[in-house]
Each structure stands twice: as C-alpha cells, then as structure tokens.
Amino acid sequence: DGGITQSPKYLFRKEGQNVTLSCEQNLNHDAMYWYRQDPGQGLRLIYYSQIVNDFQKGDIAEGYSVSREKKESFPLTVTSAQKNPTAFYLCASSMTGGHIETQYFGPGTRLLVL
C-alpha cells in the first residue's frame, strides 16, 4: 500500500535537546511538507520541498531545520531554539507541488516537552 509514514508516534524532548521527526513516503511524490498543529488551531506550514536537495521556509520556520537528500524522505529537526515545541506535527506530500493538487498526510507525531 502506498502512503506516508511518520515516526515516532510520540516523542519527548528535554530542555536544550534537538529531536528529529521522521517522514517517509512511497507515493513517488516530488513535493513534501511539514505542518504544525496546535490545539484549536489550523495547521501552519513549517517547511516545504518541491524537489530533492531543495527546500523553502514556510510561515513558522524559526527553530526548525529540514533536509531532503532522498525523494522519499523529509526529516524535520526541532532544535533547542524552538521555545514552544509542544504540538502535533504532520507531514504531507503531493505529486508536484501544484496549487490544484491534493496533499496526502501522514498520521502525525505528537511532541511533548519534559
């Protein structure tokens, strides 16, 4: 079955620690996205990538970093500079990143701060 997998489902971060959230897709999609969801709010874009080895900042990129070394993988690192990291993180992909395309979402990773 084609789809998007995210791991882990829950992640705990200590003060001053960097953590990395995994996102893998086997849909052969070029474009991938990371969104953050806070309670009672819509999703906000952190980073996106339309092609391997290239990515752009979204609306709330501060305190986050990404890489896109392989088409199927788009890991997100939450750095110690992100002062309020507790949220639900969702990864998505679409075929080419066009504005009419459907984005397919993974099941999400919930990040909690210890």
For another protein, the binding residues (CB under 8 A) are: 4, 6, 31, 33, 35, 40-45, 48, 50, 56, 58, 90, 92, 94, 96-108
Q: Among residues 100 and 114, whose Cβ is nearest to another protein? A: 100
CB of 37 to another protein, least distance (A): 9
CB closer to another protein out of 80 and 110: 110
User: Exposed, middle or buried: residue 36 (CB in 10 Å: 0-12, 13-18, 19+)?
Assistant: buried
Residue 10, classified by CB atoms within 10 Å of its CB into exposed (0-12), middle (13-18) or buried (19+), is: exposed
